[in-house]
Homo-oligomer: A and B are copies of this chain.
Amino acid sequence: MLKDWVKSEKPGDEEITERLQKAREALSGMQMAIKEKKLPVLVILDGWGGAGKGGILGKVIKNLDPRFYKTETLSKISEDEARRPFLYRYFVRIPEAGKFSFFDGSWMDEITRNRLTGDTDDETYHRQLTSIKRFERTLSDNGYLVVKFFFNISEKEQKKRLEALEEDSSTRWRVEKWDRWQNKHYDKCVDVYDEYLEATNQFIAPWYFIDSKSRRWAELQMTELLVKSIEIALQNTGRAAAVLQNTFPLKQVTPLSEIPLDKRVSPAEYDTRLKELQDRLSELHNRIYLNKIPVIIGYEGWDAAGKGGNIKRLTAALDPRGFEVHPIASPEPREKNRHYLWRFWNRLPKDGHIAVFDRTWYGRVMVERLEGFCSENDWQRAYNEINEFEKELTDWGAIVIKFWVQIDKDTQLERFTDRQNTPEKQWKITDEDWRNREKWDLYEGAIDEMIRKTSTEYAPWYILESVDKRYARIKALEIVIEEIEKKL
């Protein structure tokens, strides 16, 4: 792409001035529509060192209200970010609905740099390419406009610019070692960039090349392309996206109604076994910390199924410095205004740590689906989006364990009644619980579908039969221990 790209001819100065004024006004005029239509706009700027991205970005955003955009400089990966999954640092920075985010540097920079230095092997590179394509696609599917610019200059021009920057003591710090390396290996870079640009030139987030030899001309190109892209996106807000076929290996699962719930463990056996298992898990926690393995455990289940008590028995075995429990309630405004997985990306553990989610991202295909908090197209796409999300986590090296805590309808009634009648337990029961109970059958259908479609081999569901809560706790501990042992 880069090699055979055909530059459009640079217009005369007068024309540039005229068109620039028009484009700037157009961009500025669009802000209200973006806000009203709640369109999130992610603009990424990639390209050669010295191509002037920063300066041009500075010009372009002058046309915007500073309350409606954020800029992010993404060249340097922090220590903390290095301990998170691939793309983490980009996902947590996506814009809110109705706002812009401008990324100076992006995942292209990260992946191509590692390719050029030989820090990633072919397999990793191709896996990361897939991740990137999925990332851009899921943003687009969830209503994001993603605009990608590549600022291009020739080898000669780059050389000239770097030398000029270096000559001036006040600008010398701007030239990084990497820029000089790039210029020295210009042709090699072109090859690697070309391969990447080609592979990621998706319909939902195409590449735009910017001839960056003249700054005003570059600003004009970028502004006009941005205006055009936004115009189109504004026409498309709320559109449905393709529901992709599943490509992940799935396990056979049993419908909830066919799962026997008569499993029990005696109180005496429970005490002995619990202690054994907690001791074992405690040892393993130490080892996953040392081996830097992240562990993500999600709990879903019927109201009053015993999630809280189950989680407590699990965390009791863990070193408090190495785990965190995330209770998931309805999203706050800043969360509602972003991709629904954003709040989970933000809560991912560092490597070597354990994160326990009390309710999870599966809310999308349960409560959000059944209460109409998202569109049909949204929840139908979600199975694949979630499988992709969990794939990203396991590719990173995480152990992902998902528990469905199962009881029958009668047991729930018993527990609800008990809560209602016991003063210390009344806080645990709300009108909403009773309302949800009325929709039991609808929920059961949704849950069966969810478990069927997301029981991937790399992140399967485990059913915890919890009519006897003790049984469920022992089983949960056994599964967590087994999964960790498999990985070590």
A residues apposed to B, CB below 8 Å:
32, 35-36, 54, 57-58, 61-62, 65-67, 70-71, 73, 78-80, 102, 104, 170, 173, 286, 290, 308, 311-312, 315-316, 318-321, 324-325, 327, 332-334, 356, 358, 424, 427
Out of B65, B311, B334, name the residue touching A312 (CB < 8 Å).
B65
Out of B57, B65, B286, B311, name the residue touching A66 (CB < 8 Å).
B311
Instruction: Enumerate chain B residues within 8 angstroms of A73, measured Cβ to Cβ.
Output: 321
Given A286-B170, A312-B66, is A427 in contact with B356 using a C-beta cutoff of 8 Å?
no
Instruction: Enumerate chain B residues within 8 angstroms of A65, measured Cβ to Cβ.
Output: 308, 312
A58 and B424 form a contact (CB under 8 A): no
Out of B104, B320, B324, B332, name the residue touching A320 (CB < 8 Å).
B104
Cβ distance A8 to chain B, nearest Cβ, rounded Å: 26
A356 to B79, CA, bound (A): 27
A320 and B424 form a contact (CB under 8 A): no
B54 and A319 form a contact (CB under 8 A): yes
How many copies the complex holds: the figure is 2
Interchain Cβ contacts under 8 Å between A and B, 14 examples: A32-B424, A36-B427, A54-B319, A54-B320, A54-B321, A57-B320, A58-B318, A58-B319, A67-B327, A67-B358, A71-B324, A78-B78, A102-B320, A332-B332
Listed from nearest, the 4 A-B pairs whose CB atoms lie closest are A66-B325, A67-B327, A71-B320, A73-B321
A333 (CB) vs chain B CBs: closest residue: B332
B356 and A66 form a contact (CB under 8 A): yes
Cβ distance A327 to chain B, nearest Cβ, rounded Å: 4
B32 and A427 form a contact (CB under 8 A): yes
A333 to B333, CA, bound (A): 9
Instruction: Enumerate chain B residues within 8 angstroms of A58, measured Cβ to Cβ.
Output: 318-320
A129 to B40, CA, bound (A): 45
B290 and A324 form a contact (CB under 8 A): no
Instruction: Enumerate chain B residues within 8 angstroms of A327, measured Cβ to Cβ.
Output: 67
Instruction: Enumerate chain B residues within 8 angstroms of A358, measured Cβ to Cβ.
Output: 66-67
A286 to B318, CA, bound (A): 48
A322 (CB) vs chain B CBs: closest residue: B73
A356 to B66, CA, bound (A): 9
Instruction: Enumerate chain B residues within 8 angstroms of A79, measured Cβ to Cβ.
Output: 78-79
A334 to B346, CA, bound (A): 15
